Amino acid sequence: MTVNPNDHLISLIWKYGVYDLTEIERENILLPIIKEQIRNALINPHIRSYYEKVSMNPEDISSLADVPWVPVTMFKEFDLATVPADDIVKILRSSGTTGQQTSKIPLDKITIQNQNRSLSKILAHYLGPKRLIFIVIDHPEINDPAHEFSARTAGVRGLSLYARKTIYLLKKEGDYLTVNPEALEEIRQLDRGIPVYLFGFTWIIWSVCIPYFKKHDIHLHLSGGTLFHGGGWKNLQNIAVGKDFFTMNIRDFFGIPSYRVLDFYGMAEQTGIIFPDCECGYKHVPACAKIIIRNIQTLKPCGEGERGLIEVMSILPNSYYGQALLTEDTGRIIGWDGCPCGRRGVFFEFLNRVERAEIRGCGDTFRVDHGR
Amino acid sequence: MQKYGDAGIPSGWIMEDNIHIYAGGCVDKERYVESFTELIQELEENRRALFECPDEIIIHLFAHFGKEIIKDSSLAYIPGLSYLSLWLRKENLHAIYLANFGIKPGIRDSIQVDSRSEMIHVPRGVVCHWIAGNIPLLGFFSLVLATLGKNASILKIHPSVYKYLNPLLQKLEEVTIEIDRVSYSGKVITLSVSLVSFPGKNEIMSRDFSLSADCRVIYGSHEAVQAISCLPHQVHADTIVYGPKYSFAVFDKEAVESPEFSSMLKGLAQDIVLYNQAACSSPHTIFFEKSKMLLHDIAEQLKSAFQTLPERMFYPLDEGIAISVINTRARYLLDSSKDILLSDDLKWTVCINDTISLEEPVQGRCVFVKEVSDIDQVLPLVTRKVQTVALGMVDQVRKERYVRELAYRGVDRVMAPGAMHEFTQPWDGMLGAGRMVRWIAVVKK
């Protein structure tokens, strides 16, 4: 196995606290680590090709914003492994939410350790030091290794790290999802106010769980619960369901206090990092990562409040080029420091995913057929 | 003209299931209706005045309007305005008129067929235009062609282009000219025009619109053209289709090695940048015949050409297109067998590869350059879907032979680099304005 000279540095990062770095501190701490990781990443011919074509030498990188980023979708087309093949112990395959080509993310032991450690730290920050009962608002097969690794799987597996016991609230009936009455009863039997945490895909909670609870007049009393949910906001927006209305329904039917209904942002390509809402409704960046919002026209970092593409930088990946990944999601920086929740550093909000280009009009030529 | 109350339905860009007739042209106040009947009645009444107006006056009004729009700073935000102004020059409109109707305007409205008969042209009536949303001013060009034939027009537009077309109609309405002590107003044209929007998927409205037309003009994608063409229509109505097309450029060895090459590339860079490559006349692939210059060096020259273009030519990209460009760039950066030149922002992208093919359009000022050992290798790629080929060739004999071959295989327009978007007649193999009139046989005494 390749020895990673950054191992000690990455483990040191947590000494700074999960959300205690200012942006200047983050820059100073992460930049040397990422530069070293890039030197190692040049073993990959694709990454080497990229750096050569943009005439970038890792030694010349003077700020995190200068690190060449790769669009996340490139994991669907290129092998971006940065360690020898023998070191890879697992390949994450994720279709994401678009459901077409599959992303392949090669993981070695170091990366898996880094990711697990990071997730534990982030979850501990929100849930406290003890392992808790984990209620998955999904069906058990979602975590079946025989099935494809989806964004939902990534969420369930990642958050399971903190679980003392896992209950799957839903079950599959043919192609449909519905509430599993036995699991529901098990949850009802839990002591009122017992600390638990829940995870579910926002759209599934809304379209499967809430209607069932309404129909059967079910009101849980999970006042000690914390719900992490994400994904599928576009569907909710299409039916004019906003974050506040969603949260209100969770409070009414699950009994979870509004401030512990945490919408989170994350992706399979950056497993180990999740961005849950803070009590003020904003997302914070853990010490091992950095967020840059890039102007979609100029590609330069945006100023405060300016909408742009979300770039997620991370020191966790050792086995693939995940140091700087540009997403197709948009967000905006709310502030560089000083969120009333007390967490330090930049805080931001997720806005939407950019709609794929649909070429229209007389310039729409070859997508149909080449014709005669 | 009838007055209608404002239905007060905010539509924004989310199209309601009704017909939105915009304020502008013959319509005082926007309204929402379920059929085109009343609008057609208005236009039928108003088009008589246009019919009575001499051709020469219509051309004068457009030409005067063309001069005015470029002076009006409040219109400067409209993409393609300066080109529209140039295109509306009197000489150009005269040339278009002559090409389409076979006579000069204002001389005598008839063409001799033989010793016993002559023919004259008259408007078809109401022309219904399905305007694609990719080129902001496309609707206006189409309107001018219909108006030269003295037709009334209803333009079905994407709501996003109303902000460009309506101010132009307002400006045209204000234009007045005086000829032989008679004053003429642009209203004679605008009173025969209306802008509308409705969901194209609404079959009832689409059928109604189609059946309202004495002539249908369809711009759009394969799906749009197929769907609209199949709508029921009046038996007498002609249908003019400007369907999906692909454009590219070819330079032969002699042109690459000629002193004019850098100015040709500058012209081509303009062609790529204009309309963010969303037009059917936008080049996506450029072929260079093998010469003394390496392909990478040619790409560097193209890069320099992009860099000389003024900032104002670069309009923001559609976000989805920007993502496509970002991903295409990444593919070329990560693939060691490919080469690429790119700006720091998304202004321009030159992808270099040697596969002899017409690349799938990415748009967003992203072009593919290739080297071929002989430009004849490009010919088998040409289909009837190819519209414009920008040709950089010096030898006239070779050029003539090449043009004939391109045309035989399906190309509609062969232009010089820098002139690909010139809205010339014919277009897509047709004389559009000529198709929008009826030809009447008249026996002489």
CB–CB of B124/B149 below 8 Å? Answer: yes
Residue A136 has pLDDT above 50, yes or no: yes
The first and second tokens of residue B142, run together, are 């189409």
Q: What is the mean pLDDT of residues B24-34?
A: 92
Q: How many Å apart are CA A137 and CA A135, to the nearest integer? A: 6
Domains annotated on chain A, with CATH: 1-70+281-353 (no CATH), 130-277 (3.40.50)
What is the nearest CA distance from B385 to chain A, expressed in angstroms?
7
CB–CB of B5/B31 below 8 Å? Answer: yes
Q: Does B207 touch chain A (CB under 8 A)?
A: no
Where do we find the tokens 């003209």? B1
Are B323 and A49 a contacting pair at CB < 8 A?
A: no
Closest by CA to A67, choosing from A45, A35, A111, is A35
Residue A219 has pLDDT above 70, yes or no: yes
* pLDDT tens digits for range B51-87: 999 999 999 999 999 999 999 999 999 988 999 999 9
Q: How many Å apart are CA B196 and CA B22, to the nearest integer? A: 6
CB–CB of B260/B171 below 8 Å? Answer: no
Q: Find, in chain B, the residue whose alpha carbon is nearest to that of A372.
A: B383
Nearest to B323 among A70, A354, A372 (CB): A354
SS3 label, residue B224: helix
SS3 label, residue A356: coil
Q: How many Å apart are CA B64 and CA B83, to the nearest integer? A: 15
The least confident of A359-368, B4-13, B283-292, B327-336 is: B4-13
Are A354 and B320 a contacting pair at CB < 8 A?
A: yes
The least confident of A162-171, A319-328, B15-24 is: B15-24
pLDDT of residue A95: 61
* E strand intervals along B208-260: 215-219, 238-242, 246-251
Alpha helices in chain A (DSSP H): 7-12, 23-41, 45-53, 109-127, 151-160, 181-188, 202-204, 210-215, 233-238, 243-254
The H helix count followed by the E strand count for chain A is 10, 16
Residue B151 has pLDDT above 50, yes or no: yes
pLDDT of residue B6: 31
pLDDT of residue B370: 98
Q: How many Å apart are CA B257 and CA A83, to the nearest integer? A: 47
How much is the mean pLDDT over chain B?
Answer: 92
Closest by CA to B421, choosing from B212, B243, B276, is B276
Residues 6+ apart with CB under 8 A from A222: A187, A190, A196, A198, A254, A255, A256
The first and second tokens of residue B394, run together, are 């010096």
The least confident of A14-18, A63-67, A305-309, B89-93 is: A14-18
pLDDT of residue B5: 29
* pLDDT tens digits for range A162-198: 889 999 999 988 888 899 999 999 999 887 888 999 9
What is the nearest CA distance from A360 to chain B, expressed in angstroms?
6
Are B279 and A363 a contacting pair at CB < 8 A?
A: yes
Residue A285 has pLDDT above 90, yes or no: yes
Residue B3 has pLDDT above 50, yes or no: no
Closest by CA to A231, choosing from A196, A205, A256, is A205
Residue A94 has pLDDT above 80, yes or no: no
Q: Find, in chain B, the residue whose alpha carbon is nearest to that of A45.
A: B336
Q: In which band, very low, low, confident or very high, does the pLDDT at A362 lie, cut at 50, 70 and 90?
A: low
Q: What is the mean pLDDT of residues B418-432?
A: 93
Per DSSP, what are the bridge partners of residue B392?
A: B251
Name residues 313-372 of chain B within 8 A of A (Cβ). Answer: 316-324, 326-327, 330-336, 339-340, 344-346, 358, 360-361, 363
Q: Amino acid identity, residue B220?
A: G
pLDDT of residue B11: 34
pLDDT of residue A4: 57
- Taking phi over 0 as left and psi of -120 to 50 as alpha, with beta for the rest, B372 belongs to beta
Q: Find, in chain B, the residue whose alpha carbon is nearest to that of A294.
A: B345
* pLDDT tens digits for range B215-265: 999 999 888 999 999 999 999 999 999 999 999 999 999 999 999 999 999
Q: In which band, very low, low, confident or very high, does the pLDDT at A149 lie, cut at 50, 70 and 90?
A: low
Q: How many Å apart are CA B100 and CA B108, to the nearest integer? A: 15
CA torsion, ordered B422, B428, B431, B437, to nearest 10 deg:
-120
* pLDDT tens digits for range A47-93: 999 999 999 999 999 999 999 999 999 999 999 999 999 999 988 87
Are B346 and A47 a contacting pair at CB < 8 A?
A: no
Q: In which band, very low, low, confident or very high, does the pLDDT at A372 lie, cut at 50, 70 and 90?
A: low
The least confident of A265-269, B286-290, B389-393 is: A265-269
Residue B129 has pLDDT above 80, yes or no: yes
Residue B109 has pLDDT above 90, yes or no: no
Residue A300 has pLDDT above 50, yes or no: yes
Q: Does B401 touch chain A (CB under 8 A)?
A: no
Residue B223 Cα to chain centre, angstroms? 19
Q: Does B159 touch chain A (CB under 8 A)?
A: no
What percent of chain B is modeled with pLDDT above 90? Answer: 84
Q: In which band, very low, low, confident or very high, does the pLDDT at B319 lie, cut at 50, 70 and 90?
A: very high
The first and second tokens of residue B319, run together, are 């976000």
SS3 label, residue B378: helix
Closest by CA to B41, choosing from B156, B152, B172, is B152
CA–CA–CA angle B7, B12, B16 (5° rounding) = 60
pLDDT of residue B161: 93
Are B336 and A48 a contacting pair at CB < 8 A?
A: yes
pLDDT of residue B237: 96
- Residue A266 φ then ψ, to 5°: -170, 175
CA atoms within 13 A on the CB side of B53: 32
The least confident of A269-283, B256-270, B377-391 is: A269-283
Task: Please give the full DSSP string across B280-336, using - where no structure is assigned.
Answer: TT-EEEEEEE--SS-HHHHHHHHHHHHHHS-GGG-PPPPHHHHHHHHHHHHHHHH-T
Report yes or no for ipTM above 0.85: yes
**β-pair type (A163-168, A132-137):** parallel
Q: What is the mean pLDDT of residues A12-19?
A: 86
Are B245 and A362 a contacting pair at CB < 8 A?
A: yes
Residue B47 has pLDDT above 90, yes or no: yes
Q: How many Å apart are CA B170 and CA A167, to the nearest integer? A: 66
pTM: 0.88
Return the sign of the alpha-carbon dihedral for residues B114, B116, B119, B120.
positive
Residue A231 has pLDDT above 80, yes or no: no
SS3 label, residue B161: helix
* pLDDT tens digits for range B158-199: 999 999 999 999 999 999 999 988 999 999 999 999 999 999
Q: How many Å apart are CA B387 and CA B410, to the nearest integer? A: 8
Residues 6+ apart with CB under 8 A from B418: B264, B266, B267, B268, B270, B271, B390
The first and second tokens of residue A360, run together, are 């229209």
Interface mutation vs chain B, best among A51, A309, A362, most B CBs within 10 Å: A362
Pairs of CB atoms within 8 A across A/B: 142
CB–CB of B65/B175 below 8 Å? Answer: yes
pLDDT of residue B112: 85
pLDDT of residue A197: 93
Are B322 and A359 a contacting pair at CB < 8 A?
A: no
Q: In which band, very low, low, confident or very high, does the pLDDT at A132 lie, cut at 50, 70 and 90?
A: very high
Radius of gyration of chain A (CA): 21
Residue B444 or B127, more confident: B127
Q: How many Å apart are CA B269 and CA B263, to the nearest integer? A: 10
Q: What is the mean pLDDT of residues B263-281?
A: 95
What percent of chain A is modeled with pLDDT above 70? Answer: 89
**β-pair type (B19-21, B193-197):** antiparallel
Chain A residues with CB under 8 Å of B245 CB are 362-363, 365
Q: How many Å apart are CA A240 and CA A133, to the nearest integer? A: 33
